[in-house]
Structure 1
C-alpha cells in the first residue's frame, strides 16, 4: 500500500509540475503567444508551425486549443486554419515528450532552487512568475525519477503483473485506459512521460505502452471537447475538429502499432525512447496526412455544430468562456468582447429613441425598455466573470484592463437605466397625451441624438483600442455637448416667451429630455478617463485657472 501511495504521489507531482509550467508560461507570455498565433495564420503550413512553437513552450496542446478557439470565436482565424494550428500543436507536445525522455534528473535540483529564489524575491513581476515555470520544470523531472523508483518496487507484486497482463491482452482496452488517464491528469504529455518511464523500468511491456500512448492522444482531444462544453459554438468547433482528427488517426494507427514496433525497435536504444518516438511519429504522420483535409473537417464540424443566428441573440452572454478562466489574458479578452456586446445592446436602445418620438410607437418603446433587463444581466454576468479571474495572476497592463472593463460596463448599465426612464417619460408625457414637439424643438433633439450616437461609437472604439487621441476627442465632445445643451435650453425658453403652443405643452419633457441626453453623454465620455489617466494625459484638476480677486480684509 505504501508503494502504491508513493507511485500515485509521484504521478500527482508530475501532473502538478505540468500545470505550473503551463500556467506560468501563460501568465508571463500569454499576450505574446496569442499575438504569435494571430499573426502566423496566413496559410495552413504557417499555422501548423505556429501551433508547434507555441505548444512546445506551453507544453499543453489543450491550452493552445483554448487560445485558438477564442480566436475563432472572435473571427480572427478561420476554422480550417485553427485546425491546422492544432495539428502543429500535437507535434509540439510530442517534441517536448522527447526532450523530457532524456535523463535530466541532475537538472531538477538546480531548476527548483532557482525557481524558488526568483519566485520568493520577485513575486509581483514577470521574473517571479517565470520562477514558477522553473519550479514546474524541476518538479516534472523529479517526478519522473520518483515514478521510476516507485514503479520498480510495485512490479514485483503478483497482483500488479496480473493486472498489466489483462490490460495488454486487448488493444481497445489499452487505448481506453490511456484516454481516461489523459483526461484525469488534464495532460497527455504527463501520461506519455509516465508511460515512457514505466516502459523503461520494465513495468509495462512495450506493446502495452504504445496502446496507452494512442489512448493518451485520443484523451487529449477528448479533454478539449469536455473543457469547452459550456462555451459558445464557435469555441467548441476547434476542439471537436481536433478530436475528429485524433479519432481517425488512432483508428488508422492502431493496426500498425505492432508493425512499427517490429521494424523500428531494433534502431531505438531503449524502451522510453521507443515510446516517445512512436508518439512523435504518430503526430507527425497525422499532421502531414490531415493538413490537406482541414477544410473538409471544418465543413463537417460546422454541420454538427452550426452557429447560432446572431439576429436572434439579444442580451444573452455569449463571449464569457468558462474554459478561458485558466488563462487570465484570454479571460480578460472574453470579458472585453462581452462588454462590447453590452454596448451594442445599449446602442440599439439609443437608436430606438428617435423612432419612438417621431412615430409615437408604444410597442417599440416597450421592446426597448425590455432591453434594459438584458443590459443589466450582461453587467452582472461580466462582473461575476471578472471576479473569477485571479488578480494575482494578472500583470500590470491586464490588471488595468480589468479595471477598465468594470468601469465601462458600469457606465453602459447606467446609460441603459437612463434610456429606460427617458422612454417612460416619452410614453407618459407625450404619446399618451397626444402631444408633439415644435419643429425647432424636434430639430434640437435630433441634433443632440445624432451627436450622442457618434460619441457612443467613438467611446466603444476608445474602449477597444485604447487610443489616447480618440479619448481626448471624446472629452472635447463632452464639452461641446454641454454647450449645446445649454444653448438649446435657452432657445426653448425663448420659444416659451413667444407663446408657442407645442413648446408650452412639452416644456417639461423637452427640458428633461435634453438634460437626460447630456447625462448619457457624460457616462459615455467617462470611458476616456481611464485611458487618459494611464497615459498620463489627464490633468490633476479640471478647474480652469483664472485670476480670482482677493477678498477685502474684514478688519
Structure 2
C-alpha cells in the first residue's frame, strides 16, 4: 500500500465522517426544534415510544444523540425513566438505517453529482430552511464520496500480508469485538464503524466473518456518548443513559453465543445472515450482508429484552438503584376535583399556576438577554426546555379553566376565569416568540458569527432590558392584583421606542456601516419580535385592569 493510498484513505475517512456529522447537524436543524416536543408527546405508551426512538434516530442518524436527548428530558422531569426505555430500544434499531443506505454501492457512482447538486442548491438558497436542506443533500453526497475514496484506497491491502494476518485474527469474535468497541468509542458512531466495514468489503479487504464481530463491538462502543452526555445530569437521567449499556450488552452476549455455535461449516449467525440475504432479499452482496448483520443485532436483542423487561429492570435496579423519584413535570396547584369543591379556591390555584408560567417566561427573557450579549450556545437548549415546560403547563391550565367555566359562576368569577384564559394564552405566545423566533435569530447570529455595531448593540440591549423590566412589573401586578403597577406597564408601552431604534438602524445602513449591513435582517427582526412581546405584555396588563 503506497503513501498515496494512505493519503486517500485518511482523506476519504475524514470526508465520510465530516459528511455524516454535518448531515446529522442539518437534518437536526430542519426537524430539531420539534424533536423534544415530538418525543414528549409520542412516548406515552411503549409501542409509540419505540417507534418515536426509531423515527428520531433515522432523522438524526445517531442512537447516542437520541439517548442523550431522552436523558436530558428524564433529568428535567419531562419524561419518566420507564417511558425512556422504549425510546432507547427504538433508537438502537434506528441506528442501523445508515449502513443499510450505504450498502447500495451503486449510489457511489453518483456521489460527485449529488455533491454538485447540493452545492448549487446551497449557493442559490436564501431561505434558512432551504439552506439546511441543500446542505443535507451536499453532505449526503460527501458520505458516498468518502466511501468511494476509502474503498478504492483499500484495494491494495488485499495482497498486503501483515493486513491479511491481522484480519484473520479478527475472525476470532472477541478480538473483533474489542476492536469495534475501541474504534467506535473514538469516533462515537456505530453507524460510521459499520459503514467503514462496508467500504472495506467493497474493496475486497474484509469478509463477513471479520466484519460482524467489529460491528458487534461498535454496538457496545456507541454507548460512551450517552454516558458522557449524562455526566452533568441527575441520577434518573444517568440511569436512562446507563440502561442503554445494559441493553446493548445483552444483545452483544446473545449474538456472541450465536457466533460461537458451528452450523453447516460456518458460525450460526453468519450462516443465518447469508441465508436471509440470499433467499429473502435475493442478493449475495457482501455489503448488504454486513448491513443486515448489523440490523439483526438489535432485532435479536429486542426479541429477548421485551418479554424479560421486568426481570432486566429488577437486575438493573440492584446495580444502579433508584434515587429519589423525579416526578414528571406538570401542574402543582390545580386538580379537576377542586372545581366541584370550591370555585374561589380553583381560581386562586389557577392564578398560582399562571404565575409559575410567568416565572418560566421571565427566565426565558433573562436567558435571551444572556445569549445575545455572550453568544453562549447553551442558552439555546435552556430556552427550549423552558418553553417545553410552558407548553405543558399551558395545556393543563387551559383545560382546567375551560372545565371551570362550565360551572355555575357569578359574573365576577366568570370574568376572572375568562381573563385568566386570555392571560395564559398571551404568556404562551411570548414563550413561542422567544423559543421559535428569537432563538432562531440567536442561532443565525452565532452560526454566521455576526457582530452588531456598538450603537446597535446598546439599543438592542436597552430594548431587551425594557422587555424584562415591563415583565417584572407585570408579574408584580398579577401577583398582588396591583392596578397601579398594571397602569405603569401600559404607560411604558405607549412610548414606542422600537420605531425610534429601527430608524436609527436604517440611518446607519445609509451611512454604510459594515456591521449594520451584515446584521440588518437579525437586527430589524429582533426589534420587531421584542415589540410584539411588549404588545403581549401590554395586553395582559389591560386584562389585569379589567380584573380589578
The aligned runs of 1:268-307 (5 Å cut-off) are: 268-294=283-309, 297=312, 304=320, 306-307=322-323
Match of 1:434 in 2: none
Q: Please, which of 476, 479, 493 is the counterpart of residue 486 of structure 2?
A: 479
How far apart, CA to CA, are the structure 1 residues paired with 2:114 and 2:56?
Answer: 22
Match of 1:201 in 2: 203
Match of 1:160 in 2: 163
Match of 1:11 in 2: 13
How far apart, CA to CA, are the structure 2 residues paired with 1:189 and 1:229?
Answer: 23
Q: Please, which of 271, 274, 278 is the counterpart of residue 262 of structure 1?
A: 271
Query: After superposition, what is the alpha-carbon deviation per residue over 1:399-457, rounded to whole angstroms, capped at 9, x for unaligned?
Result: xxxx99x9699969x99xxxxxxxxxxxxxxxxxxxxxxxxxxxxxxxx9xx849539x
State the TM-score, normalizing by the size of structure 1. 0.59
How far apart, CA to CA, are the structure 1 residues paired with 2:23 and 2:30?
Answer: 11
Match of 1:533 in 2: 532
How far apart, CA to CA, are the structure 1 residues paired with 2:223 and 2:446?
Answer: 30
The aligned runs of 1:364-375 (5 Å cut-off) are: none
Is residue 140 of structure 1 aligned with residue 139 of structure 2?
A: no
Question: Does structure 1 retain, via aligned residues, the 8 Å contact 2:273–2:292?
Answer: no
- Worse-superposed segment, 64-73 or 274-283: 64-73
* TM-superposed deviation, 1:281: 1.1
SS of 1:183 mapped into structure 2: helix
Aligned positions, number? 379
* TM-superposed deviation, 1:263: 3.6
Query: After superposition, what is the alpha-carbon deviation per residue over 1:119-145, rounded to whole angstroms, capped at 9, x for unaligned?
Result: 233366111122221111111111111
Q: Please, which of 120, 123, 127 is the counterpart of residue 120 of structure 1?
A: 123
How far apart, CA to CA, are the structure 1 residues paired with 2:99 and 2:243?
Answer: 23
State the TM-score, normalizing by the size of structure 2. 0.60
Query: After superposition, what is the alpha-carbon deviation per residue over 1:136-194, rounded to whole angstroms, capped at 9, x for unaligned?
Result: 111111111111111112332222222223333x3222111111211212211111111
Query: After superposition, what is the alpha-carbon deviation per residue over 1:38-77, rounded to whole angstroms, capped at 9, x for unaligned?
Result: 2111211111111111111211111211221222122222
Match of 1:38 in 2: 40
Residues 86 and 538 of structure 1: CA distance in aligned 2, closer, same or farther (over 3 Å): closer
Match of 1:333 in 2: 384
Match of 2:342 in 1: none
Residues 186 and 453 of structure 1: CA distance in aligned 2, closer, same or farther (over 3 Å): farther
- Measured on the aligned residues, the alpha-carbon RMSD in Å equals 4.3
The aligned runs of 1:459-538 (5 Å cut-off) are: 478-479=485-486, 533-534=532-533
SS of 1:23 mapped into structure 2: helix
Residues 76 and 255 of structure 1: CA distance in aligned 2, closer, same or farther (over 3 Å): same
* TM-superposed deviation, 1:532: 6.0
How far apart, CA to CA, are the structure 2 residues paired with 1:281 and 1:309?
Answer: 35
How far apart, CA to CA, are the structure 2 residues paired with 1:409 and 1:85?
Answer: 43
Residues 326 and 154 of structure 1: CA distance in aligned 2, closer, same or farther (over 3 Å): farther
Question: Does structure 1 retain, via aligned residues, the 8 Å contact 2:75–2:233?
Answer: no
Is residue 91 of structure 1 aligned with residue 90 of structure 2?
A: no
Residues 295 and 331 of structure 1: CA distance in aligned 2, closer, same or farther (over 3 Å): farther
Residues 123 and 176 of structure 1: CA distance in aligned 2, closer, same or farther (over 3 Å): farther
Query: After superposition, what is the alpha-carbon deviation per residue over 1:263-316, rounded to whole angstroms, capped at 9, x for unaligned?
Result: 4314251211111101111112222332345555556556626446999xxxxx
Larger Rg: 1
Question: Does structure 2 retain, via aligned residues, the 8 Å contact 1:52–1:90?
Answer: yes
Question: Does structure 2 retain, via aligned residues, the 8 Å contact 1:27–1:329?
Answer: no
Q: Please, which of 464, 475, 479 is the counterpart of residue 455 of structure 1?
A: 479
Query: After superposition, what is the alpha-carbon deviation per residue over 1:358-403, rounded to whole angstroms, capped at 9, x for unaligned?
Result: xxxxxxxxxxxxxxxxxxxxxxxxxxxx9x9784459xxxxxxxx9
Unaligned runs of 5+ in 2: 260-266, 328-362, 368-375, 391-439, 449-459, 491-527, 542-548
* TM-superposed deviation, 1:259: 0.4
Residues 15 and 89 of structure 1: CA distance in aligned 2, closer, same or farther (over 3 Å): same
SS of 1:155 mapped into structure 2: helix
How far apart, CA to CA, are the structure 1 residues paired with 2:235 and 2:249?
Answer: 21
- Worse-superposed segment, 76-85 or 224-233: 224-233
Residues 331 and 411 of structure 1: CA distance in aligned 2, closer, same or farther (over 3 Å): closer
* TM-superposed deviation, 1:23: 0.7
Residues 117 and 301 of structure 1: CA distance in aligned 2, closer, same or farther (over 3 Å): farther
How far apart, CA to CA, are the structure 2 residues paired with 1:255 and 1:409?
Answer: 66
Match of 1:524 in 2: none
Question: Does structure 2 retain, via aligned residues, the 8 Å contact 1:23–1:327?
Answer: no
How far apart, CA to CA, are the structure 1 residues paired with 2:29 and 2:45?
Answer: 28
How far apart, CA to CA, are the structure 2 residues paired with 1:28 and 1:278?
Answer: 31
Q: Please, which of 103, 107, 111 is the counterpart of residue 108 of structure 1?
A: 111
How far apart, CA to CA, are the structure 2 residues paired with 1:32 and 1:140?
Answer: 26
Unaligned runs of 5+ in 1: 312-316, 340-385, 395-402, 416-447, 457-473, 484-528, 543-555
How far apart, CA to CA, are the structure 2 residues paired with 1:390 and 1:232?
Answer: 31
* TM-superposed deviation, 1:252: 1.5
* TM-superposed deviation, 1:31: 1.7
